[in-house]
Amino acid sequence: MADTFLQRIPTLAEPALRAYLDRPGDYRPEAVRAAAEELRRRGRGPTEAEWQALEAALAPAESSGPDPRRLRALARWTLILGLGTALLIYATAKPAPPDPLGYDPLDTKRYLRELEVFGGKANILATQFRQWFEGLWEGRNLAYTVATLTGLLAGLLRFLGREPRA
């Protein structure tokens, strides 16, 4: 395709060639350079200043990642919004309703024994873990969970947005 394009360059009209120079990011660098060279050959090429600006636009970006300032700003906003949400949840959370059974089956030795018979110690641990994990997502525990996750996410964004050491 490159050969076909290079053969076609002399046949393109000036406005078509200028389109390459006006929006160099939309085209491959070799196509933009070829269009600029053709315009220069016709005597209507870019000036030296325009040529340098074009080369600067075609040069690969020095930074290979996102802008550190944006990441730090995103970390700040994440922290502000997340902690604000956690405070709102904390302020509006209602206490947990009483257990409809009147007791927690995991507090009885008989229930624990039955769990152990059916699935061993792993079954008891898995049940206790599941109950703990479910408790993280309701009431005031949800506010603590949101605040913790917000802090972790903001810390990660802040870490990614740090300035590279020279």
Model pTM? Answer: 0.57
Q: Which amino acid is at 4?
A: T
* Residue 117, C-beta contacts closer than 8 angstroms, at least 6 positions apart: none
pLDDT by residue (tens digit) across 127-155? 999 999 999 999 999 999 999 999 999 99
The Cα–Cα gap between 36 and 39 comes to: 5
Which is higher by pLDDT, 52 or 140? 140
Tokens matching residue 72: 């730090």
What is the percent of the chain with per-residue pLDDT over 90, rounded to a whole number? 40
Question: Hey, where are the domains in the chain?
Answer: 2-58, 68-160
pLDDT of residue 61: 47
Q: Using the structure block, give the residue that is written with the tokens 């997340």.
A: 82
